[in-house]
Structure 1
Amino acid sequence: MPILVRSASLTKYSEIARQAGIDPVRALREAGLDLSCLTTPDLRIPEASLARVFEVSLAGGAGRAESRTLGARIGEAWRLSDFGSLSLLLQHQPTLREALARVEPYRHLLSDSVSVQLEEIDDTAVLHVALVTARPDPGPEIVELTVGAVLSLVRAMLGPQYAPRAVHFAHAAPERLEVHRRFFGPRIEFDSEFDGIVLARQDLDRASPLADASLARYAQELLDLQPRYGEASLTDNVRRAIHLLLPRGAGTIEPVSERLGLSPRTLQRQLEQRGERFSSLVNEVRASLAARYLAQPRHSVSDISDRLGFSEPSAFSRWFSVEFGQPPSRWRAVNFGAGEERLGLDRH
């Protein structure tokens, strides 16, 4: 079953692409998408097709540096109303914390790909943004667009000029940073350990002047009347939770079941009823993340082993050899045309 997302980002894309010297009609046709996606924000389209639009745009842009800002520019243009039917409910929440809590239950109305996890440490709050895709790497433009959309929600609740403590991206920095600094702010960390936004913890509970409890109840009643045919399965939700939690050392069944509001035993039982096992899903996500990390030269094999929860690199290497048919360093060299010595990788 394909991973589906709303076409809202493409309604923003058209004008921004033209400004960058890109033909949006050609890009959509090459991606196999109907041109109605440029004007209709609530269509459900394959996430892989959206990624293809960006690939075509980068290949056909008047200048790569300009094209490389597409995701950030779309994020900059994002408004609360672009969350579609969920926007009224979000607008009338009393705090940012409450607004974030409303996103996950209705995420099926937005995207099968995106999950946002709130982590609180002392006086700091971190919004971890994870994308589950059928590709090893979601691509920097898609990541920047998604983090930008989350930042637009933060600013809708805290004020349009709100500056987060930092914005983090796991990918490398683009050639030019003017657009990124203008939108995300001056504190941008690239080549980071995660994708997401760092805030002051107290900002989560700052009262919103727009909150209206009656309108929030009305919006929720309307949302609950909508058909739920697009809602993700339990298995998909478990995969998303593992994608978020595994790189943070919390990929066991206890934290995953807690995120889903279930006990570990109930989660195990419900997965077994669907012919699934939690350990198999962890293995599946590990394989996806391993390929994603190995595509990024800055990650050593030891680093990847640790991120994926292995006790030592040799254990990771044995597991990887079973899954992919060769050791991780050799797989990386074959698939990305770089030798171990030049990349400075560990030998395992």
Structure 2
Amino acid sequence: MPHAIPVIRSASLSGYMELARSLKLNPEAMMRRAGLSSRCLDDPEMPISVIAVRELLESSAKAANVEDFGLQLAHGRRLANLGPISIVLREEPTARQALDTMFRYLRLLNASLLTHIEDHDDVVIIREDFLIEGAASASVRQSMELAVGVMHRILQELLGPAWTPRRVCFSHRPPRDKSSHLAFFGPKLEFNSSFNGIVCAARDLATPLPVLNTGMAPYARRFLDQALSRSRNNTTDAARQLVAALLPGSRCTADQVAQHLSMDRRTLHRHLQAEGETFSSMMQAVRSEFALRQIRDSDRSMAELAELLGFSSPSAFAFWFRRRFGCTVSEWRKSQLKPETT
């Protein structure tokens, strides 16, 4: 059964028109080519296609011949761009609790952005990735840099301009010129990483935030909870997100996914079957999307790709890839990179 087209608030393109014009682009024409109307920017709450936004950011970066288009777009972002969610976040006692609240409502902002927070002793890792069905081989570099850039801006606004992350990571290869990335994130920057996201000091996120009680948070939370209950949330979507999180290190099985969803394996299979899906086909689709994206946008070795995608060995990954796509990894990578170098 086909999945609904994932959507994102049109506020995700806040500042796009101004940035495009500053880079000598025609923003209205660029948006039309991506299947978007510039009128959608009049209402920040209007849902628009995630796939169209991804295409717009990538094509704009290419047309302007800049590698940091998404990052430039993140420069102007503030907590207020999150809409009603910002009201709730402002009244949380710590940044960590604000993040937990934001992740609860995340699919109201962007249905394809996967965000996961992990605690490791004295650090907290915020992982971000995209699942965009139907765009497996397409780059999400600009969308990812925008997402991580926005997260960085939100943390700076909550914790103050003096706050710095322990590390900022991207799974794609570095740009030719890293100066704008270093100016935005600071020196602790890593490309070709095993994940996309931000590593923070746990003590920073536990620091009490300034008390800001407008009295609006209960009303905003009620509105968000109602919107959340109306949003599409089937078992397949939840399972796809868990598969993406559990794939690295061969940790992804039907039993584990079922356990995370508070059900047994048979119940999981029954729900998936009712939605026209199987666990095997769903995992293959997620694995394929991540594999093609990593091969296209990063410089990972076969061993690194195999581990990231949950294979026991590079040879097992190579066999799966050839059977799945009818060519070797190097042949597929060459076919994708060749048009960009001519």
> Structure 1 length as normaliser, TM-score?
0.86
Note the residue ranges of structure 2 that are not aligned, 5 or more in a row.
none
Specify the alignment match of 1:342 in structure 2: none
The one-letter code sitting in structure 1 at the alignment partner of 2:320 is W
Higher mean displacement: 93-102 or 169-178: 169-178
Higher mean displacement: 214-223 or 75-84: 214-223
Distance 1:297 1:158, change over 3 A: closer
How far residue 40 of structure 1 moved from its aligned partner, in angstroms, is 2.3
Higher mean displacement: 191-200 or 313-322: 313-322
Specify the alignment match of 2:9 in structure 1: 6
What is the alpha-carbon distance in structure 2 between the residues aligned to residue 6 and residue 39 of structure 1? Answer: 12
Find out whether 1:166 has 2:170 as its counterpart: no
Higher mean displacement: 45-54 or 248-257: 248-257
Specify the alignment match of 1:239 in structure 2: 240
How far residue 327 of structure 1 moved from its aligned partner, in angstroms, is 3.7
What is the alpha-carbon distance in structure 2 between the residues aligned to residue 235 and residue 167 of structure 1? Answer: 31
Alpha carbons 2:128, 2:197 under 8 Å: kept: yes
Distance 1:76 1:267, change over 3 A: farther
Alpha carbons 2:58, 2:142 under 8 Å: kept: no
Q: What secondary structure sits across from 1:326 in the alignment?
A: coil
The one-letter code sitting in structure 1 at the alignment partner of 2:128 is V
Alpha carbons 1:13, 1:38 under 8 Å: kept: no
Distance 1:298 1:324, change over 3 A: same
Distance 1:219 1:296, change over 3 A: closer
Which protein, 1 or 2, shows the higher relative CO under an 8 Å CA cutoff with sep ≥ 6? 2
- Find runs of 4+ consecutive structure 1 residues off by over 6 angstroms: none
Please tell me the root mean square deviation across aligned C-alpha atoms, in Å: 2.5
Q: What secondary structure sits across from 1:247 in the alignment?
A: coil
The one-letter code sitting in structure 1 at the alignment partner of 2:175 is P
What is the alpha-carbon distance in structure 2 between the residues aligned to residue 278 and residue 223 of structure 1? Answer: 31
Distance 1:241 1:319, change over 3 A: same
The one-letter code sitting in structure 2 at the alignment partner of 1:178 is S
Matches within 5 A, 1:16-165: 16-61=19-64, 64=65, 67-133=66-132, 134-135=134-135, 136-165=137-166
Alpha carbons 1:81, 1:87 under 8 Å: kept: yes
> Structure 2 length as normaliser, TM-score?
0.87
Higher mean displacement: 195-204 or 272-281: 272-281
How far residue 180 of structure 1 moved from its aligned partner, in angstroms, is 2.0
Q: What secondary structure sits across from 1:156 in the alignment?
A: helix
How far residue 285 of structure 1 moved from its aligned partner, in angstroms, is 0.9
Note the residue ranges of structure 1 that are not aligned, 5 or more in a row.
339-348
Distance 1:107 1:231, change over 3 A: farther
Higher mean displacement: 184-193 or 244-253: 244-253
Alpha carbons 2:318, 2:328 under 8 Å: kept: yes
How far residue 152 of structure 1 moved from its aligned partner, in angstroms, is 2.3
